[in-house]
Amino acid sequence: MYADEMVLDRSNASSAEMPVPPVMPASPELPVPPVRTIVLDRAPTPVRPVPEREAVRPLSDFAGPERLSLRHVGVSYAGKEAVRSVSLSIHQGEVLALIGPSGCGKTTLLRTLNRLTELTAGASRTGEILLDGEDIHDLVDTTLRSRVAMVFQQPNPFPMSIFDNVAFALREQGRKRPARRQLEPLVVDALRRAGLYDEVRDELDRPALRLSGGQQQRLCIARAIAPRPEVLLMDEPCSALDPISTGVIEELIGELRRELAVVIVTHNLAQAHRVADKVAFMYLGDLVEYGGVRDVFEDPRAQRTREYVQGAFG
């Protein structure tokens, strides 16, 4: 919401001083247009969160032990670097938002944390990623992915019943299938934690694809958190959803962070501001800035970050 205000603000200023269109080119490779210089010449307007939104969520007081530790992580696709030397630490009880313009490597970085990038031919990784002190490279991929769960941009439930979607996630590799009786409490618990149970309690056997988009996404979250992972990765989980569903999921993220470390990639700065405790700003594969949400949004150290959080480009 404040991003909209910023755009308005900027366009007023530029039309007063120079007759250039206020619309910015999206590509960062293009030469800097004059209007940006004008914006930057002005004293940086502090980004004010919308007051009632701020009140909704205090910064995390559940900050727990470090779960994931990234040391000089780089990812390249067929020799082309997508992420360069990123070092971060991700703690339980905190939400880390990865922000940055399109193509800056935030999704790639996210997918590296559960080694999904390995499925892309030609992808390679450098540096170290430790999960509870253990290099994820040495963990069996299926084990790693049930400890570091993921939710995608598009809700992608399997073409099965609601119950089976969650039960499928609970089934362990190499073990005999548990009976429905044994699974039922676990499935119900996962659906409850994902805030979906009350809506679907009487229709657990209905096909998951009949649910609405927002419900489908919460089912995907239930599916991801059912095996009790330590880290939850979310790749723009709300970008395919309406504002009401988005609000529900944002609230849910606030709840989930009590027991998990959450890493969320988002294009929506307002959302990052609302849900995150820590923010990492990436630009062209580099980690430009990393810090508490207030520091990054209100007093960014890097010029790039300031421009981005003010909605100047991207």
Partner 1 sequence: MSAVAVHSGRTRGRRSSPMSWRWSDRLALAAAWLAGLSLCLIAAAIVLYMGYRGIQYLRPGMIFERPQVSADQAGSGGFLDPLLGTIVVSAIGIAIAMPLAVASAVWITEYGQGGRVSRSLARVVESSIEIVAGTPDIVIAIFGLAVFQLPLLAPLSFQAEGGGVFGRSFIAAGAMMSLLALPPLYAATRDGLQAVPAQMREAAFALGKTRITTVRRVLLPSVRSNIATGTTLGISRIVGSTAIVLILLGSTLRIETQGAVPVVNLLRGTGSSLTTYVYENSPAGEGAAPEKAYAAAFVLLVLVLALNVAIERLGRGRRDVVSSVI
Binding residues for partner 1, rule: CB under 8 A, are 114, 116, 119, 141-146, 149-150, 152, 154, 156-161, 164, 167-169, 171, 173, 177, 180, 183, 205-207, 209-210, 220, 223-224, 227
Closest to partner 1 by CB, 121 vs 244, is 121
Closest to partner 1 by CB, 116 vs 293, is 116
**Distance separating alpha carbons of residues 265 and 6, to the nearest angstrom:** 22
Nearest approach, Cβ of residue 300 and partner 1 (Å):
32
Nearest approach, Cβ of residue 163 and partner 1 (Å):
8
CA 180 vs CA 170, 171, 177, 195, 244: distances in Å: 11, 11, 9, 21, 33
Closest to partner 1 by CB, 24 vs 148, is 148
Which residue reads 């989980």 in tokens? 237
Nearest approach, Cβ of residue 151 and partner 1 (Å):
8
Closest to partner 1 by CB, 94 vs 164, is 164
Cβ contact 163:187 at 8 Å: yes
- Helices 213-225, 162-170: axis angle to 10 degrees equals 20
Closest to partner 1 by CB, 183 vs 265, is 183
Angle at 31 between CA 27 and CA 34, to 5 degrees: 105
Closest to partner 1 by CB, 107 vs 310, is 107
Closest to partner 1 by CB, 72 vs 137, is 137
Nearest approach, Cβ of residue 10 and partner 1 (Å):
36
Cβ contact 161:184 at 8 Å: no
Nearest approach, Cβ of residue 32 and partner 1 (Å):
37
Provide the β-strand partners of residue 83.
75
Closest to partner 1 by CB, 57 vs 111, is 111
Nearest approach, Cβ of residue 181 and partner 1 (Å):
12
Q: Where are the alpha helices (DSSP H) in the chain?
A: 2-17, 34-41, 51-56, 106-113, 141-147, 162-170, 180-193, 197-200, 213-225, 243-256, 269-275, 293-298, 303-309
- The pair of structure tokens assigned to 271 is 């959302």
Nearest approach, Cβ of residue 88 and partner 1 (Å):
20
Cβ contact 288:86 at 8 Å: no
Nearest approach, Cβ of residue 132 and partner 1 (Å):
16
Helix (H/G/I), strand (E/B), else coil: 23: coil
By DSSP bridging, strand 95-99 and strand 278-283 are parallel
Phi, psi (degrees; rounded to nearest 5) at 54: -60, -40
